[in-house]
Structure 1
Amino acid sequence: MNQSILFPDMQSWDEALQSVNFTAQQSGALIECYVTKQKLEKLFGSTIETEQVAIEVFVEYRFDLEELAEELIEDEALDEGCIVID
């Protein structure tokens, strides 16, 4: 894991984007990261009905999702300044 990319233990549900939002910090810069409900459902293996379940699934798969986000950040695969895992 690249120690120059940090992930604070904060996440929230973004209703408009149907995604869990979390933040990465690289060299002092904050990078907004999103993981879509569709991606969470693939990981979970079932339909996610509520924001609470989406957050719980995110927390359960947090390490794997942070690894994916880290790879996208290192590859500079930003979408309008954000990382989207879908």
Structure 2
Amino acid sequence: MNQAIQFIDRVEYKAQDKLLVFYAQVSGMMVECVIDTDKYDFADQSGAINYFETHRFDYEELAEQLIEDEQYNSAGQIVLTEVF
């Protein structure tokens, strides 16, 4: 694990955009990690959060690799396209 990358215990579900967003602190800067959940039909926010919690470590591992590879989008976010 890269010590310069820390994932904080915060996740948000943006229902209107069907996005799950969790956060990494990278060398002191906050980075949004975004998961497009368009393929899922979550009944509510708690369903989306439960899905994320089930796969948290998988997503954090993917995000860590993308951060290390500097694969930021134009908004400075890390976008995860792989779903579990």
Whether these two folds match at TM > 0.5 is yes
Higher helix share: 1
Question: Displacement of 1:75 after TM fit?
Answer: 0.8
Which residue matches 1:55? Answer: 49
Q: Which runs of 4+ in 1 moved over 6 A?
A: none
Structure 2 unaligned residues grouped into runs of 5+: none
Corresponding residue to 1:71 among 65, 76, 82: 65
Structure 1 unaligned residues grouped into runs of 5+: 42-46
SS in 2 for 1:2: coil
Per the normalisation by structure 2, the TM-score is 0.84
SS in 1 for 2:23: strand
How many residue pairs end up in the alignment? 80
Structure 1 residues 33-57: Cα deviation after superposition (integer angstroms, max 9, x where no partner): 1112147x4xxxxx43322111101
Question: Displacement of 1:15 after TM fit?
Answer: 2.3
Higher mean alpha-carbon deviation, 15-24 vs 55-64, is at 15-24
Which residue matches 1:7? Answer: 7
CA RMSD after TM alignment: 1.5
